[in-house]
Amino acid sequence: MNIDEARIKITDLRAEITKLSEAYYTKDAPLVEDNVYDQLYRQLEELEAKFPELVTKDSPTQKVGGKVLSEFSKVSHEIPMLSMGDVFSLEELEDFDRRLQKNVGREFEYNVELKIDGLALSLIYENGELVQGSTRGDGVIGEDVTNNIMTINDIPKKLSEPISLEVRGECYMPKSSFKNLNEQREIEGQTVFANPRNAAAGSLRQLDSSITKSRNLSTFIYTLINAEDYGVTTQKQAIEFMKKLGFHTNPSSETISNINQIEDYIEKYQDQRNDLEYGIDGIVLKVNDLATQAELGNTVKVPRWEIAYKFPPEQSETIVRDIEWTMGRTGVLTPTAVMDPVQLAGTTVSRATLHNVEMIRDKDVRIGDTVLLHKAGDIIPEVSQVVLKKRPDNLPEVAVPTNCPYCDSKLVHLEDEVALRCINPMCPAQIKEGLTHFASRNAMNIDGLGPRIIEQLFEKQMIKDVAGLYRLTADGLSQLEGFKEKSINNLLTAIDNSRSNSLEKLLYGLGIRHVGAKAAKLLAEEFNSMDNLMDASQESIANINTIGETIADSVTTYFENQEVHDLIQELKDASVNMDYLGGSEEVVSNPYFTDKTVVITGTLENYKRQELADQLEKMGAKVTNSVTKKTDYLIAGEKAGSKLDKANSLNVTILDETTLEGYLSSTQDAE
C-alpha cells in the first residue's frame, strides 16, 4: 500500500471509528460488538505506525473516551484520566513484557487485575467526606455526576479516616440487575441496553438521580491518586489502603513476577468469567512499584506501565430455524430466534431474543441464516451478526406480523416506542401473563398459582381475569391435571389469604404500566384506599415525591377505563381488601435472590438458619428444603453433606458465607 492508498484507508477508518465511538461512549448505544470495533482500531493503529506522517491530533488513536454531554456540568481532571493500551494475544502480551523488562533494566513485579466492563469514575474526598464524582469524559474534561454517585450503596460517603484524596475505578452494573433492567425495558417497549457497560453508563448519566438509584449500580476502586502522600509505594498496597478506608475493591488482584503466572491467571478467569456476578472482558497488567510507573510515564493517550489483555469473544455459530412471537402482560410482542442447539459460555443455547422488529431489520436476521451468538453481559443469549457469506440464495426477509397472533387485533407502534404492541385489553395472552404477575410473590403472593396452572384454568374457561381467581371452587380445581385434595386446599387457602393483602400489593398486582412495587406503596400511603386513588387527579398523583408525570398519566389513564371499574367492583364483591393497612414491610428487591429458589444446608457461623430464611423470603426468594433442578442457589455451611453433592451434580450455584454476605448487601427498594 502506498501513501495515497493509506491516506484514503485511514480517512475511512477514522470516520467509521469516530461514528462507532460516539455511539459507544456518548450515546451508550453501541452499533457493533466490541471485537469488531477493536479490529478496526487495530487496523488504524497499524497503518498510522507504518505511515507516521499521516498521524493527526484529531485521530481516534490520539484521543481518550468520548464527549461530555451538555446536560452535565464539566469537571477538569487535574491528572488526566487516560485509557489503556490493548493486546489481543498471549504473543502480544509477551512482547509487552519484553519491552518493559528492557526499558526498566531490573527485576520488577506486576499487579494483575480483572478488567471490569464498566464506566471509569473519579471520586474526590475532602477531610474524609465525599464531595465530587465525575466520569472520565475525554480524559481531561469529565461530567459531574455527584448527585448520582451518592445513590450507589458501595461508594462510601464518609471514609474511615478524615483524609483528603482522589480515587478512581469502575462503575458497573451486576449481571442480574442488567438482566432485570432489560426485561423491564422490554415490557415497557423501550430499547434494551446492549451490555452491562452501556447500561451502567446510561444509568450513571441520568438527570434524575432516583433512576440511577433504582438501577443497583456497584463499583470497584483500583487507583489511588498521589499515593506517595499516604506512604503507599505499590499498586497492591494502594488497593489494600483503599479497602481499609471503606472502598469496594476487587479481591482477585494478584502480585506476579513472571509471564507464565500471568498466563495462568488469564486461564483461570477465562474459565470463571461466566460465574462472576459482574462483567469482565479481560485482565489488566500493571507494574506494581509506583516509582517505576512514574519512571516509565505515559504516551499522549496511555500509560506505558500497564496493558489490557482482551479476552477473545465467546461466540458460537448456528442456524436460525424459526422466529417465534411471544406476548408479555403489557401487550409487547417479542420475537425470539429458534436455532440449532449450540454450546455457548458453558450452557446449551437454542433460543435468543431479538427484542423487537428494529433489531431484526438492523441485523437483517432471516429464517435459514447462519448467525453468530454471544451472551450479552455473559448472561443473555443474543445474535451478534449474520454470516452473510453463508446465506442461501433468495432467502426472504422475516414476515413481521400486523395482527396479534393470539387475538388477531391490529398491532400498533406507540409513540417513542420501538415495541410492537397489542392494545386489546382482552387479549388472552396478556391476560395469562397478567394473572401470573398478579399471583407473584411481590404482588398478591398466591403460592402455587404458576403459569402451568393458569394455562389450564384458562383453557377450561374457569377464569377470564384476576377476579375469577376468587370464584374458584374445590370441585372446579379437581378437574385440573395432577390436582388432588392437598393441592386444591393449599391453592384455595393461598387465594383466600390474598384477600387480606394491603392495597399496595393489589395495585402492583394489577400490572398498571410503570407502577412497580415501590410506586404502588407510595400511592397506597398517599391515598389510603382504592376509591381515593381512582378519584385522584393526575396532578395530585404527579406531586407525590418520585412519582412524576409518566406514572401519574399511566395511573389516571388506567382508571378511566370502564372495564377497570368493573374489575375493581368484582374484586370488592369477592371481599378483596381495598385499603392501605399501613405498617406492612417495605418490599425489598435483591438482584441475586428475588424470584430465586434457595436451599440452606450445613452449619452456618454468622447466621441462624430461620432468620436467614426469613431475610431471603423478604427479598422475594423461595426457601425450600430439597435441592432440585429448579434450585438457583445452595447456601452451604460446614458439614453440608448430601445436599452439597446433589447441588454439584445439578450445577446449582454454591454460596459460601463470604459470598452470601456480599449478595445480601446488594439490596434496594423494589421499583
Instruction: Note whether residue 560 is domain-resident.
Output: yes
Domain match, 387 and 489 both: no
Q: What mean pLDDT is predicted for residues 88-98?
A: 91
| Among 38-42, 228-232, 303-307, the least confident range | 38-42
pLDDT band, very low/low/confident/very high, at 305 (cuts 50, 70, 90): very high
**CATH number where 143 lies:** 3.30.470.30
517 and 552 share one domain: yes
Q: What is the mean pLDDT of residues 473-492?
A: 89
Strands (E) in 53-128, as ranges, are: 74-76, 86-87, 110-116, 119-126
Neighbours of 595 (CB within 10 A): 15
Which of 375, 64, 421 is CA-nearest to residue 194? 375
Q: Specify whether the CB–CB gap between 598 and 552 falls below 8 A.
A: no
Residue in 50, 63, 67, 115 annotated catalytic: 115
CB 172 within 8 Å of CB 220: yes
Task: Report which listed range, 216-225, 299-308, 594-603, 659-668, is most confident.
Answer: 216-225
Q: Check residue 168 and give its pLDDT.
A: 96
- Whether residue 601 is found in the same domain as residue 623: yes
Q: Is residue 345 part of a domain?
A: yes
Q: Which residue has the higher pLDDT, 61 or 156?
A: 156
Say which CATH number the domain at 33 has: 1.10.287.610
In this structure, are 84 and 181 located in the same domain? yes
pLDDT of residue 586: 54
Q: How confident is the model at residue 25 (pLDDT cuts 50, 70, 90)?
A: low
Nearest Cα to Cα of residue 356 among 198, 513, 192: 192
Categorize the per-residue pLDDT at 364 as very low, low, confident or very high, splitting at 50, 70 and 90: very high
Q: Which residue has the higher pLDDT, 155 or 193?
A: 155
What's the mean pLDDT in 53-75? 71
Range of the domain at 35: 3-62
Is the pLDDT at 589 greater than 70? The verdict is: no
Q: Span 277-291, mean pLDDT?
A: 93
Closest CA to 256 of 94, 87, 112: 112
With respect to residue 578, please indicate whether it lies within any of the assigned structural domains: no
Whose CA is closest to 71, among 135, 157, 152? Answer: 135
Other C-beta atoms closer than 10 Å to the C-beta of 448 total: 15
Q: What is the mean pLDDT of residues 602-607?
A: 80
- Predicted structure pTM score: 0.57
pLDDT of res. 190: 76
3-state secondary structure of 428: helix
Query: Rounded mean pLDDT of 193-208?
Result: 84
Cα–Cα distance measured from residue 36 to residue 17, given in angstroms and rounded to the nearest whole number: 10
> Does pLDDT of 667 surpass 80?
no
- pLDDT for 670 equals 36
Mean pLDDT of 285-306: 92
Q: What average pLDDT score do residues 3-8 get? A: 84
Identify the band that residue 358 occupies on the pLDDT scale cut at 50, 70 and 90.
confident
The dihedral through the CA atoms of 69, 41, 101, 311 has a sign that is positive
Least confident stretch, 194-198, 305-309, 563-567, 575-579: 194-198
Q: Is residue 376 assigned to a domain?
A: yes
pLDDT score for 671: 36
* Of residues 246, 239, 60, 74, the one with CA closest to residue 159: 246
More confident residue, 620 or 247: 247
Q: Are residues 459 and 473 in the same domain?
A: yes
In a domain, 407, yes or no: yes
Give mean pLDDT, residues 33-52: 80
Look at residue 668 in the predicted model and tell me its pLDDT: 41
Residue 250 maps to a domain: yes
115 carries an active-site annotation:
yes
* CATH at 624: 3.40.50.10190
Same domain for 280 and 241, yes or no, is yes
Q: How confident is the model at residue 379 (pLDDT cuts 50, 70, 90)?
A: low
Residue 127 has which C-alpha cell? 477531610
CATH code (residue 349): 2.40.50.140
Q: Is residue 504 domain-shared with residue 528, that is, in the same domain? A: yes
Q: Is 231 exposed, middle or buried (0-12, 13-18, 19+ CB in 10 A)?
A: exposed
- Inter-helix orientation angle 175-187/196-204, to 10°: 80
Residue 106 lies in a domain: yes
d(CA 117, CA 85): 15
389 lies in the same domain as 323: yes
Any long-range contacts for 328-331 (C-beta under 8 Å, 24+ apart)?
A: 328/186, 328/187, 328/430, 328/433, 329/187, 329/430, 329/433, 329/434, 329/436, 329/437, 329/511, 330/187, 330/188, 330/189, 330/421, 330/430, 330/511, 330/513, 331/421, 331/422, 331/423, 331/424, 331/427, 331/430
Kindly tell me if the per-residue pLDDT of 665 is higher than 70. Answer: no
169 belongs to a structural domain: yes
What is the pLDDT at residue 484? 86
Residue 587 has pLDDT above 60, yes or no: no
Residues 298 and 238 in one domain: yes
Per the prediction, the chain carries an average pLDDT of 86
Give the pLDDT band (50/70/90) at residue 505. Answer: very high
144 shares its domain with 89:
yes
Among the residue ranges 90-99, 172-181, 283-292, 526-535, the one predicted with the least confidence is 172-181
Domain final position from 289, 310, 331: 310
What's the rounded mean pLDDT across residues 503-514?
90
Total number of domains constituting the chain: 5
Q: C-alpha cell of 67? A: 464527549
Same domain flag for 559 and 482: yes
- Percent of the chain beyond pLDDT 90? 42
Tell whether the model's pLDDT for residue 443 goes beyond 60.
yes
How many Å apart are CA 455 and CA 307, to the nearest integer? Answer: 55
pLDDT band at 27 (very low <50, low <70, confident <90, very high): low
pLDDT for residue 584: 47
Residue 356's pLDDT band, with cuts at 50, 70 and 90, is: confident
- Residue 17 — φ and ψ, nearest 5°? -65, -40
CATH code where residue 434 lies: 1.10.150.20
Task: Reply yes or no on whether the pLDDT at 63 is more than 60.
Answer: yes
Asked if 95 and 166 sit in the same domain, the reply is yes
